[in-house]
Structure 1
Amino acid sequence: MTMPRTSPRIDEKIRARNIRLILDVATDVFSRKGFDGTRIAEIAELAELPKANIYYYFSSKEEIYSAIMMRLIAGWDEALTNIRADREPADALRDYIRAKLDYTRKNPRESRLFASEIIQGARFLSPKDRAHMRMATEKHAAVISQWIREGRMAAINPRHLFIMLWATTQFYSDFQPLACDALGTKTIRPVDYDAAADTIVRTVLAGVIPSSPAIP
């Protein structure tokens, strides 16, 4: 008697669901315990999956960690698509800042995990991922340089601008207790992120866009 087979479409849905579950659980554990303190057995227990299933999808703890980093970087890449030479600099920067803040708001654990990884010397961030981020920065810094040559932006250092934007947009999740103290609140609410976006956008555009009008 032959056992019934599931359809490829159902198999793929199960695979996607399990991978998403494993990465979500692993992100929580990594963000709390760090790489060294995380165990595959704990990820399996919290995901309510057999340990063998974890190894079915990922060959090692390092591979799970790398997949989390890749997911985060993909989110940042999506935000960077707003920085394009065919756009008005004010619109592009405004949309980029809001996209970065929105991603941070929705994915605080990933952002904090990445910050922790960097603080610890980027021990487990792969050379491939670091090279990708360098290339992405160079590509979009070139766009800003073009805007500067065209007289549409003040003559600033594009790379330092990006560093400043990363710092401001990620601070709210990476250092949430300190941000809460500064805001006089117990948690950062959506309205606080809206106020942050408005403040950052107004401040940046006033400094880099010639005769920038007030941005609503």
Structure 2
Amino acid sequence: MTIADTNRKGATRIQRRNREAILDAALGVFSAQGFRGATLDQIAEHAGLSKPNMLYYFASKEAIHEALLAGLLDTWLDPLRALDPKGEPVAEIMAYVHRKLEMSRLYPRESRLFANEMLQGAPRIMAALTGDLKALVDEKAAVLQDWARQGHIADLPPHHLIFSIWALTQHYADFDVQVRAVLGEGHDPYAEADSFLDTLFRKLLAP
């Protein structure tokens, strides 16, 4: 995942590298500490830069956080965008479930960053939630509803079906410590979840 556009016009290789280092460091700090608990000093230390040097790229903690969220939301929606109205309904939905679980496995820090923002009331991303995100979810919910009308899948509230997919996949990233503590050693949470969620949603979707 690209956490920022590091190919801005006119940026030197060092500038792109430093910007990427700042955003990667900030991702770790914000996902662990939350927005309120994170400090510019912590981010600069993890990025290996001085605080004044870091502020050359981003004017404030808010600016860093907003840059991360903007890139994250776009990437986070890619799996839903890929749901094809012309595809086989159950296969398309199951592919979405598996893509969302895989994103949780690969990008747990990003998932926790997003969850922390939601818990704070989404002050820095509300416009995107009520804009691009809502528009995409409404579009795909209409597809799900159409499939249900045609008898391809069970007649389920489409928005809540999407919410349940989010909840059951992102849980493994946001509550990773709890999941691993309960399962104990010798378990691969994501492999087990992949099989379980496949069974669960196929039964749920059966007309």
- TM-score if structure 2 supplies the norm length? 0.85
1:95 Cα shift? Answer: 1.3
Unaligned runs of 5+ in 1: 1-7, 211-216
Residues 182-203 of structure 1 deviation map (CA, whole Å, 9 limit, x = unaligned)? 32338x74xx312211211221
Correspondence 1:171 to 2:171: yes
Alpha-carbon distance in 1 for matches of 2:121, 2:163: 17
Counterpart of 1:105 in structure 2 is 105
Larger radius of gyration between Structure 1 and Structure 2: 1
Correspondence 1:132 to 2:111: no
C-alpha contact (below 8 Å) 2:81/2:136 kept by paired residues: no
Residues 43-69 of structure 1 deviation map (CA, whole Å, 9 limit, x = unaligned)? 122211233332332232112111221
1:9 Cα shift? Answer: 8.8
Q: Among the aligned pairs, what percent are the same residue?
A: 35
Change in Cα spacing, 1:16 to 1:183, as seen in structure 2 (3 Å) is same
- Other structure's SS at 2:124 match: coil
Alpha-carbon distance in 2 for matches of 1:199, 1:25: 34
Alpha-carbon distance in 2 for matches of 1:155, 1:128: 29
Alpha-carbon distance in 1 for matches of 2:52, 2:126: 25
Alpha-carbon distance in 1 for matches of 2:88, 2:66: 35
- TM-score if structure 1 supplies the norm length? 0.82
Correspondence 1:122 to 2:119: no
Change in Cα spacing, 1:185 to 1:135, as seen in structure 2 (3 Å) is farther
Counterpart of 1:213 in structure 2 is none
Counterpart of 1:214 in structure 2 is none
Counterpart of 1:35 in structure 2 is 35
Residues 11-60 of structure 1 deviation map (CA, whole Å, 9 limit, x = unaligned)? 45433322221111001111222212222232122211233332332232
C-alpha contact (below 8 Å) 1:115/1:174 kept by paired residues: yes
1:114 Cα shift? Answer: 1.7
C-alpha contact (below 8 Å) 1:66/1:126 kept by paired residues: no
**Equivalent AA in structure 2 for residue 208 of structure 1:** L
Change in Cα spacing, 1:13 to 1:130, as seen in structure 2 (3 Å) is farther
Moved more, 70-79 or 84-93: 70-79
Change in Cα spacing, 1:82 to 1:194, as seen in structure 2 (3 Å) is farther
1:10 Cα shift? Answer: 9.2
Residues 154-197 of structure 1 deviation map (CA, whole Å, 9 limit, x = unaligned)? 111001101111110011111122212332338x74xx312211
C-alpha contact (below 8 Å) 1:79/1:100 kept by paired residues: yes
Alpha-carbon distance in 1 for matches of 2:45, 2:195: 42
- Other structure's SS at 2:86 match: coil
Correspondence 1:21 to 2:18: no
Correspondence 1:208 to 2:185: no
C-alpha contact (below 8 Å) 2:98/2:194 kept by paired residues: yes
C-alpha contact (below 8 Å) 1:93/1:201 kept by paired residues: no
- Other structure's SS at 2:116 match: helix
Alpha-carbon distance in 2 for matches of 1:24, 1:167: 25
Equivalences, count: 200
Alpha-carbon distance in 2 for matches of 1:28, 1:143: 36
Counterpart of 1:74 in structure 2 is 74
Alpha-carbon distance in 2 for matches of 1:60, 1:75: 23
**Equivalent AA in structure 2 for residue 158 of structure 1:** P
Change in Cα spacing, 1:157 to 1:20, as seen in structure 2 (3 Å) is same
